[in-house]
Amino acid sequence: MEFDNLYHDLILGKEKLALVGLGYVGMPIAVEFAKHVKVIGFDINKKRVDEYKNGIDSTNEVGEAIKDTTVEFTADPKKLKEAKFIIVAVPTPVNEDNTPDLKPVEGASKTVGQNLSAGSIVVFESTVYPGVTEDICVPIIEKESGLKCGVDWKIGYSPERINPGDRVHTLTSIQKVVSGMDEESAREIKKVYDIVIKAGTFPVSNIKTAEAVKVVENSQRDINIAFMNEIAIICDKLKIDTYEVLNGMNTKWNALGFKPGLVGGHCIGIDPYYLTNIAEKLGYHSQIILNGRQVNDSMGTFVADAAIKEMIEAGMAPKKSTVVIMGLTFKENCPDTRNSKVVDIIDRLKEYDIKPVVTDSWADKTVAKQEYGVELIPWEEVPKADCIIIAVGHNEYRSMSVMQLKTLFKDELEDLEKVLVDVKSLYRVDELKASGMRFWRL
């Protein structure tokens, strides 16, 4: 069976491309491809599909473009039968013990298999450890479809690199790693992605290599941030400002420019576990990656403890104090709350019977309640505070002056009793010192 005409048939409108999974990754891909070819967008979440159909982009990744897209959004898996090029972009989380949770990708493989047409190419974008696509996904698709991989259909892998909330490094401007099970599939997959990827594609020799690229690049970033977080802890003990140290370090030409912070989200805080899991299966125990994960996972507790210490030193009784946390999403200017480490700050405060008030206009109130049990308070209803923890660097927080911040505290407090915890170091030290407030920065 020939597969080398698929690209041309897509361009000519003779065949359709399908996306399986329409979250922060899949939906932008579907919308971008729809500018050039016929696209079916499938998701098992009917509510999400209905929102897209009604021109509502809850991910805020494409905004108003959702209203004009020609993507055929559907929750009916049988529509996949109409597509010959299928991209799978479902989430790959971890279990409570930090082992890979492959249920979403296995479920997607089953759905694809049940609706697969001969002559199709299937490309996975979901982050997995090397071997998952060929050793786990292919057998499921073969079983459900009755079609032989390499004969009746072909498989490939192209790791997603979408950065939620990033308006600079977008889908089309990030070079895309591509791979296929053989030269024919790799060539065709490259041509299809080249339709939308302006930055170009980067072919690698096999699927396992492409799978490794994704988990390694995110593990590298995780480790570098973990080092910065350790430096932040050490600087705190030395009573010197971490950012002043890093700014000095960054004057050297070969400094990497990483910063300390809360490492959440669906990639950097999760992908390293996929890499260490396969390493364990092969008999190697990670010496660096897992230790980096431990450091990064501890930072929410570290921030909360710092806030409590500052409140005590300011003469407050933390249990009786009003603590306001600004920001819940895992990163700034983005509605994504997946694996938010701000929750670790909240949980640690609750261990001391402190019930913080949490506000975030970017986050979905229903999701925050369902996923974390966090009640999000509208900005206009936030009470005056004894202590403010700015946990996320949303633009609206970043644009506030120090004098505006002071108005958020209780009127009866003296300046030295006002405690500001600036997790993202949004405000200049000289301005904070001039304000008279007690402050702490990560």
Residue that is written with structure tokens 């065709």 in the block = 188
> For residue 9, with 0-12 CB atoms within 10 Å meaning exposed, 13-18 middle and 19 or more buried, which class applies?
middle
DSSP-assigned beta bridge partners for residue 441: 422
137 assigned to active site: no
Helix (H) or strand (E) holding 435: helix 429-435
Say which amino acid occupies 94. V
**Catalytic, out of 137, 267, 334, 387:** 267
Residue/partner pairs of 274-281 with CB below 8 Å, 24 or more apart: 274/92, 274/94, 274/100, 274/127, 274/128, 274/129, 274/215, 275/129, 275/212, 275/215, 275/216, 275/219, 277/99, 277/100, 277/129, 278/129, 278/130, 278/131
Identify the DSSP state of 79.
G
Tokens of 338: 């997946």
CA end-to-end span of the chain: 59
Q: List phi, psi (to 5°) of 177.
A: -75, 130
Residues 6 or more apart whose CB falls under 8 angstroms from that of 55 comprise 66, 67
**Between β-strands 419-422 and 438-441, what pairing exists: parallel, antiparallel or unpaired?**
parallel
- C-alpha separations of 297 from 3, 110, 279 in Å: 46, 34, 21
Q: Which residues are catalytic?
A: 267
